[in-house]
Chains A and B, each alone.
Chain A
């Protein structure tokens, strides 16, 4: 009897395992599935299943082996020597060896229109002395290199397929990952199937379907109705709805990004440091977390979220202090400051803007809210045609990615026009250091000055929230917000 039951349950297990399809709801359609050309966050969701990377990051944000089984940093941080796992094949049959790794990194560095050039700017040379060794030589020490290689810059593409497809590689990507690309119908779905000969063993899921739902309500409705089994992101207001459903659960976990307000330092009223400090001081970050995010985010004191390597308790979250803000304005010789706060559409943005407006008004700021569509917002932020703008960052595993381009003079994400030679020196120094403790010490010095100069009012650290069927298990929650489905199982 027991044996019969056992064989029946085994049979059932086999039949259910025979066609495991997981449908994932995303907030946008992944536009470019090419590691060199990709610029959208959603691309990374899909590409992480198709391509293996040189290294990966885990839930604790530690760099872990992937195609590279080990590495050594020598020559004062200038030489990175990677030993590769052997016997890996791309899904088109091409072997993944050192030459393929060299090809992929060089392709990222040279392809016309490649978005990876900035991240790999420190690389002088990539060589493949033998089939399982890759040596990357840098122009100058660059601590963030491994973190950079754990993302798109380190994804290994099939040289055969990439050469053959040319500019169309994004529409027929070939990697060596746990899933391979099957088809894509724009605005409808991207379909992947399990790579049967994956070098770490076949994934439990057979088919992986990504579907875009730009509207948050629609995304949740599809999860509730069972049309999809997992969605990301989830709006804070929908978390309770998902949790009420006995078959579903919502999980909020650590993110890497930060959000806040840039103040344009190149024109009035925010060309005055005391006015900037005063505005930042009016914001009650804890109240924002409670009211807008229902306690799902963390108040921010700087660019490094708690739980990430560069977080330091020495950098405190600023408390709201209306009296102090009023005093600052008085010192600046102003009692009534008017400015326009630029934001883009969306329920969360509107709520935030109104809270900022109300909080700042207590100290005598007269804030006008202007909502423009995101393309226009970026355009105006780049041209510094604004007073204050709500613009944040999705975050990177290495701290450099959360600070360098924001506060370095002329940095690509420095929309405030902030320029401070002392900060530039410190940020360059931190980047050249290898030990995280030394880097954190350098960042703390820099942050002390940046927070005092206040070109940016940090308000909160965004978190990641997923809503998923309880039948789904085995998805590691890595703070980068990318869902890795290799170990996922749908019971």
Chain B
């Protein structure tokens, strides 16, 4: 297991190098000059030249890439072109917020999907199954920008239960933090819950038809126990895969949700950076995302081992 883990981690290094090259070139293919965008209405030719020099954009692209890589070697992601703050610092400031949002919505998704998926698989074709299917399909098809604005209008504007936006750190005021994170987490979580429910249902249905389940039942194991102990465990393997993919998706989905609820997280920073052509910030963020997706899939691999011992010995 340890050797497997170390090998997987080492294999990530060349992958991430390829990612750096891709990110660096793609970001430079974006039309629009960062200096021109920043100067906007006050762009005199002299100011443009000076700002390009300040931003280091007048150096050859290859030199810029090598410098960036060298900085990366020292874990230095560079500085924002907008306000000159450190990119690593910015990411460090934003990532916990988005991570909290992703974890909350994932917890919510699992809390909804587990009972719904089981209920629906145990009695396929029943009214519960049909209701769950209907809800799940609506959840999958509802775009988060629509759901988000809907929630704001219902719960913040009309009922005035929860402020429409705002953010406080978890450490600073946990109660208020959770209250403010509730609507964004629901917005993000509904889609995942729907997908997870569908996966759990089909995977559980398949497992319930297996011989060992029938054997367990024949041996007189109680119905609930069969599902909880024998069927669910096996049915969860494909679901965990999807869960991992969802976590990656949540980081991306957060872009829209954070915009609606003004959550100062990773997604909003990325949108801002793209609009202002803040190249070092975009590069640093894409690279961080790549590293995170890798980390998540690595953890998922480890989780397989925990759920299904056969994977460990393979």
Contact = CB atoms under 8 A, between A and B. Distances in A.
Contacts of A187: 94, 262, 264, 268-269, 272
A375 B44 contact: no
A164 B156 CA distance: 45
A118 to B, nearest CB: 4
Contacts of A373: 32, 275
A368 B273 CA distance: 30
Nearest to A379: B32
Grouping DSSP codes into helix (H, G, I), strand (E, B) and loop, the B interface class, with mixed when no group exceeds half, is: helix
A170 B84 CA distance: 9
A171 B85 contact: yes
A117 B44 contact: yes
A47 B53 CA distance: 26
A245 to B, nearest CB: 10
B42 A115 contact: yes
A112 B44 contact: no
Interface in B15-38: 30-33, 36-38
A490 B30 CA distance: 45
A379 B167 CA distance: 36
A32 interface: yes
B26 to A, nearest CB: 15
Contacts of B84: 167-168, 170-171
A374 B93 CA distance: 28
Interface string A370-400: 0011111011101000000000011000000
B157 A221 contact: yes
B165 to A, nearest CB: 5
A376 B85 contact: no
A115 B264 contact: no
A412 B160 contact: no
A293 to B, nearest CB: 22
A428 interface: no
A379 B33 contact: yes
Contacts of B41: 39, 393-394, 413
B259 interface: yes
B51 interface: yes
A114 interface: yes
Contacts of A112: 50, 53-54
Contact of B82 (A31, A119, A185): A31
A227 B275 CA distance: 26
Contacts of A222: 164-165, 262
A225 B160 CA distance: 7
B40 interface: yes
B276 A31 contact: yes
Contacts of A374: 32, 37, 275
Given A32-B83, A412-B44, A224 B157 contact: yes
B2 to A, nearest CB: 40
B164 A170 contact: no
A268 interface: no
A284 interface: no
Among A187, A213, A394, which residue has the most Cβ atoms of chain B within 10 A?
Answer: A187
Contacts of A214: 259, 271
B306 interface: no
B43 interface: yes
Interface string B244-274: 0000000000000001111010001101100
A39 B50 contact: no
Interface in A186-244: 186-188, 211-215, 217-218, 221-222, 224-227
B152 interface: yes
A365 to B, nearest CB: 27
Interface string B43-55: 1111100110110
Interface in B50-102: 50-51, 53-54, 82-85, 90, 93-94
B164 A188 contact: no
Q: Which 6 A/B pairs are nearest by Cβ-Cβ distance?
A: A375-B32, A188-B264, A225-B164, A118-B44, A225-B156, A376-B31
13 contacts: A31-B82, A115-B42, A168-B84, A171-B84, A185-B264, A186-B93, A187-B272, A215-B260, A218-B164, A218-B259, A221-B152, A379-B36, A380-B31
Given A114-B50, A214-B259, A379-B32, 7 more contacts: A39-B40, A39-B41, A117-B44, A188-B264, A218-B259, A221-B149, A225-B152
